[in-house]
């Protein structure tokens, strides 16, 4: 009877263990990186960033108490995520570390972050942390706009002499982003409602506001409320209008708060010049 080769069994066990570790460790690293990115999103996501996940609310400004934690987790997650790098730049900027913010935004822009392109463009356009360079700012805004970033479109219009300089182009650029981005949907809806850059289309505008409202875009919620209240671009529905206003107001929109006040107090007092003095409630 042959005895088992203990040495060979040990080697095989060692190899199997190594193979298991090789399979497990990358998964663990991926899970850790994913957790870092989740925390980075929670603390530093930009509501207007096209890369932001739909289920992440984001914050217009990073809370002061969260800055150090955001820097920690976004830096860890930034190795493989342009979104995390952009958010790392936001956290550095909130901490007045502009050189570090610019470095993070450069890396994010190189990976294709249009929001980082916009931030870099703003820095060049205003001369913040770098020599002022309007030509470089324009190039960055153009890159972002061509990729469909709504802020890139708006800033490109600003450095080109305002939206009136080429509203048709602005409308075309926004249309690219409006397929999925709520800010683009809202901005394009405004252009369609006003007839800027092309024919006026209140029905299409209402549809765009509805899409953006479904993603909790505060300004779009206020606009679809106004359209529903007056029956513009679709049926009149005052109950739905109130519900839209309430959702928008809960997100901090002042126009929606004023609209709710008018619904509650519909009687208007005016002075002899026709200026509104107050609303009366009964």
Predicted confidence at residue 277, as pLDDT, reads: 66
Backbone phi, then psi, for 267, in 5-degree steps? Answer: -90, 125
Higher-confidence residue of 14 and 107: namely: 107
- What digits encode the pLDDT tens for the residues 206-254? 999 999 999 999 999 999 999 999 999 999 999 999 999 999 999 999 9
- What digits encode the pLDDT tens for the residues 30-66? 444 489 999 999 999 999 899 999 889 899 899 999 9
Backbone φ/ψ region at 17: left (φ over 0), alpha (ψ -120 to 50), beta: alpha
Strand, helix or coil for residue 57: coil
Predicted confidence at residue 69, as pLDDT, reads: 97
Cβ-count burial 74-96 (b if 16+ within 10 Å, e if not): bbbbbeebbbbbbbbbbbbbbbe
Strand, helix or coil for residue 65: helix
Q: Is residue 282 part of a domain?
A: yes
Task: Give the pLDDT band (50/70/90) at residue 171.
Answer: confident
Q: Is residue 24 part of a domain?
A: no
Range of the domain at 254: 166-282
Mean pLDDT of 111-116: 97
Q: Is residue 256 part of a domain?
A: yes
Q: Is residue 276 part of a domain?
A: yes
Predicted confidence at residue 17, as pLDDT, reads: 41
> Which tokens sit at 122?
């703003």
Could you tell me what percent of the chain has a pLDDT over 70? 83
Q: What is the mean pLDDT of the chain?
A: 85
Q: How many domains are there within the chain?
A: 1
Q: Is residue 199 part of a domain?
A: yes
Q: Is residue 239 part of a domain?
A: yes
Strand residues in 156-280 grouped as ranges (E): 267-270, 276-280
CATH number of the domain bearing residue 212? 1.25.40.10
Mean pLDDT of 156-184: 75
Q: Is residue 36 part of a domain?
A: no
Q: Is residue 37 part of a domain?
A: no
- What digits encode the pLDDT tens for the residues 123-159? 999 999 999 999 999 999 999 988 889 888 878 877 7
Higher-confidence residue of 119 and 273: namely: 119
């Amino acid at each position: 009877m042959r005895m088992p080769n203990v040495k060979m069994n040990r080697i095989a066990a060692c190899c199997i263990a190594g193979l298991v570790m090789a399979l497990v460790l990358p998964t663990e690293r991926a899970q850790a990186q994913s957790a870092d990115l989740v925390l980075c999103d929670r603390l530093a996501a930009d509501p207007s960033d096209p890369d932001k996940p739909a289920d992440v609310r984001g914050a217009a400004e990073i809370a002061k108490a969260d800055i150090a934690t955001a820097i920690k987790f976004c830096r860890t997650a930034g190795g493989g995520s342009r979104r995390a790098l952009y958010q790392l730049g936001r956290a550095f900027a909130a901490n007045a570390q502009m050189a570090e913010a610019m470095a993070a935004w450069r890396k994010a822009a190189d990976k294709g972050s249009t929001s980082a392109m916009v931030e870099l463009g703003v820095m060049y356009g205003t001369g913040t942390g770098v020599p002022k360079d309007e030509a470089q700012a324009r190039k960055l805004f153009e890159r972002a706009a061509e990729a469909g970033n709504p802020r890139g479109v708006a800033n490109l219009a600003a450095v080109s002499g305002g939206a009136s300089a080429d509203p048709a182009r602005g409308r075309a650029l926004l249309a690219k982003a409006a397929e999925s981005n709520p800010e683009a949907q809202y901005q394009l809806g405004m252009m369609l409602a006003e007839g800027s850059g092309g024919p006026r289309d209140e029905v299409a505008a209402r549809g765009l506001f509805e899409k953006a409202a479904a993603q909790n875009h505060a300004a779009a919620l206020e606009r679809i409320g106004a359209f529903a209240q007056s029956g513009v671009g679709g049926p009149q529905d005052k109950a739905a209008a109130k519900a839209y206003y309430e959702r928008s107001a809960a997100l901090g929109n002042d126009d929606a708060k004023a609209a709710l006040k008018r619904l509650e107090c519909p009687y208007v007092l005016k002075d002899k010049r026709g200026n509104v003095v107050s609303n009366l409630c009964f």
